[in-house]
Homo-oligomer: A and B are copies of this chain.
Amino acid sequence: MADLVGEYRHKLDAKGRLSLPSDFRKALSKHLMVTISPKGECLYVFEPEGFSAWVSSLFEKDGGFKSSSSKHVAQRKLLNSRVKPVELDNSGRLGISASQREAALLDKEVVLVGDTDHFEVWDAKRWDDFCATVDLDSLFED
């Protein structure tokens, strides 16, 4: 699979359609999974296998504990309920449902952010605010 990187500022049209950067389009298949990020601040877009792998990875941290506990069953159910399969149209756009747009507060101006195995869709202003909170300088201090 791909290695998605970069930030792209695109527009969501009146019908909720979002055209992907051509780099993303080349790296991904036409079948994608869109889900609300766990904290609800943006949307994640995966390929189907990537989504499954991501969910699984969330449950492997507790040292191999299998998903039998009722807490994990509920978490898994919620994660699965929030994902929606979508297909790209003939112009390479994906339709984002009204409920998902609302959940991530997406307006017209959005930012697509590559993050290795998936990309994220942010409201432009929200993304700018997020960037402002990240302190890169501390990486270079001694």
Contact = CB atoms under 8 A, between A and B. Distances in A.
Which 5 pairs between the two chains have the least Cβ-Cβ distance? A7-B81, A38-B136, A58-B139, A81-B113, A78-B134
Is the interface on chain A under 10, 10 to 19, 20 to 34, or 35 or more residues?
35 or more
A7 to B, nearest CB: 4
Q: How many copies does the complex hold?
A: 2
Interface of A: 5-7, 9, 23, 38-39, 58-59, 61, 71, 74-75, 77-85, 99, 113-116, 130-131, 133-137, 139-140
A66 to B, nearest CB: 11
A47 to B, nearest CB: 14
A6 B85 contact: yes
A140 B83 contact: no
